[in-house]
Structure 1
């Protein structure tokens, strides 16, 4: 990996900094190098020529790409736009990272799996996305792996935070408006706080930069896919119940568990989104926080 930025200070390029993960990354990566954060106005991933141009102009040491098309249901009828942001733009970033010797950190999703496995998914389990969003994210994973660049693809799940559009904010809004809510109870996964994603990513970047002086193959030797969700597991019903218990207490609405079949949506979701975090711990010595602990921190911040 090359040294970039001003002098020998590494430059870290972060995309999508107005998004819930991008915003947290912009904060978490401060102090590790010259952090350049670009929002959609500065770097529209749908403009592939612009993506290429920006990377060639900045010549970063590390590209961190949380930007994506994340409207899961809308993607079912907007496949071209989802593919441009989730597959084609990351492919260009990976090509340019290989060209300038940068490392690429990219985020993917549990939706690359079909959810039929009994236990937790490991990184080399067979993928079989059941919706357009998952398919285009998988295509992005594959393009990055084929590019020849040094990369980490971090698969996360059920991302939430205090900004943007996500399940947490939707529940808080609906909970203040309705006395009773019906929430799916037969889909299992790990709600993952955007701050946790950014914080653990920053630890990985710090390790890479610390090793850079004496181990030029650090990124290459660790390149691959890693599962990056919160520890533990729950259902959407369990997640909603925990949100209301912590945030509203006795004023919380009544939450009723329902099967996914009673809440039809355009994009099919996996019933099992559990992902093993063993590889992350083995390679980097890092652990993601338990989902319930992270939720408490998020709501009490």
Structure 2
């Protein structure tokens, strides 16, 4: 029985992937064992050792949810960002190609510059503004150039029912500091995505590619919920829903104030508009990607059932 190797298992997307594979794997996947790797067990800065590890285990699939995602820190440490987001990915893809394994890799909306008003399609030209975006685009290109069987999924604005993401930060700040107001950027637009939805859809898509008569082909897809919002409207919607569920005091959304991105003064530039057009994914795999509010509401209901982390120290 060949393994699936899951890299980045400690992150919110990696945890969601591991949970789905352990508890409810898609029926189209062959029998497998699951081996998970996080930064403690596997140093992605060593492409040589990484390639050797993969070839030794002879997996039938490699799933890479690992990434250097600190966008502003990447601006100051470009070598480290490229080592993890590009060179390590190239080593994984080369090992996948030599062993005949599938590779599932996750990328970002930050490969685009945000200059166009319409949602970005897979065929639109990538023009990243930041070191992070350039390193992630280089990783995509390495997977495709390797010739391995692959699925590359671009997604955006990930969240889950726990700390360590924008949603968790907003809820925790509003709950722990009821006297404070929050300034949130209102002129940057994109789409929030549930890590659980993205993980499940990616694995379902992989299973469909493995059918005797494949329902779809590998390639690069935009895997994102439908719809578009701003960071400010996202935070306000989450606060209103959280208040209705008893997670936050009534009126908490009124403590969130809109600001311009220019007032934030972040070291790394961000695309002002990075909605991903999910039409190709939905048509190819027949998998529905609902409006972003749908999954966010479900995640808030999950948090309401297990809210203890909201009151714990960051």
Partner residue in 1 for 2:149? 150
The residue matched to 1:105 in structure 2 has which SS? strand
1:27-106 alignment runs, 5 A limit: 27-30=19-22, 31=25, 32=29, 33-106=32-105
What's the CA shift for 1:163? Answer: 3.8
Q: Deviations over 1:204-248 (max 9, x none)?
A: 132234x1xx35xx59x7232100121111100011001111113
Partner residue in 2 for 1:24? 16
Provide the C-alpha distance between the structure 2 equivalents of 1:244 and 1:166, rounded to a whole number of angstroms: 15
Provide the C-alpha distance between the structure 1 equivalents of 2:162 and 2:77, rounded to a whole number of angstroms: 24
Provide the C-alpha distance between the structure 2 equivalents of 1:162 and 1:75, rounded to a whole number of angstroms: 26
Select which of 236, 245, 259 maps to 1:241: 236
1:134-283 alignment runs, 5 A limit: 134-163=133-162, 165-176=164-175, 177=177, 178-209=179-210, 211=211, 214-215=212-213, 218=214, 222-249=217-244, 250-253=250-253, 254-283=255-284
Q: Deviations over 1:15-73 (max 9, x none)?
A: 11111100110011234432221222222211212211221121111111010000011
Provide the C-alpha distance between the structure 2 equivalents of 1:145 and 1:277, rounded to a whole number of angstroms: 20
The residue matched to 2:8 in structure 1 has which SS? coil
Provide the C-alpha distance between the structure 2 equivalents of 1:201 and 1:164, rounded to a whole number of angstroms: 23
Q: Deviations over 1:149-190 (max 9, x none)?
A: 111110000111134521111111221214321111111110
Please tell me whether the aligned partners of residues 15 and 65 of structure 1 are also in contact (alpha carbons under 8 angstroms). Answer: yes
Distance of aligned partners of 1:164 and 1:44 in 2 relative to their CA distance in 1, 3 Å threshold: farther
Provide the C-alpha distance between the structure 2 equivalents of 1:159 and 1:140, rounded to a whole number of angstroms: 19
Please tell me whether the aligned partners of residues 196 and 289 of structure 1 are also in contact (alpha carbons under 8 angstroms). Answer: no
Gaps of at least 5 residues in structure 2 are 245-249, 303-314
Gaps of at least 5 residues in structure 1 are 1-5
The residue matched to 2:71 in structure 1 has which SS? coil
User: Is 62-71 or 258-267 further displaced after alignment?
Assistant: 258-267
Please tell me whether the aligned partners of residues 209 and 218 of structure 2 are also in contact (alpha carbons under 8 angstroms). Answer: no
Provide the C-alpha distance between the structure 2 equivalents of 1:164 and 1:137, rounded to a whole number of angstroms: 24
Partner residue in 2 for 1:3? none
* CA RMSD, Structure 1 to Structure 2 (Å): 1.6
Provide the C-alpha distance between the structure 1 equivalents of 2:142 and 2:9, rounded to a whole number of angstroms: 23
Please tell me whether the aligned partners of residues 277 and 287 of structure 1 are also in contact (alpha carbons under 8 angstroms). Answer: no
Q: TM-score, normalised by structure 2?
A: 0.87
Partner residue in 1 for 2:4? 12
**Residue-pair matches, total:** 287
Q: TM-score, normalised by structure 1?
A: 0.91
The residue matched to 1:256 in structure 2 has which SS? strand
Provide the C-alpha distance between the structure 2 equivalents of 1:40 and 1:72, rounded to a whole number of angstroms: 18
- Structure 1 residue ranges (4+ consecutive) displaced by more than 6 angstroms after TM superposition: none
The residue matched to 1:162 in structure 2 has which SS? coil
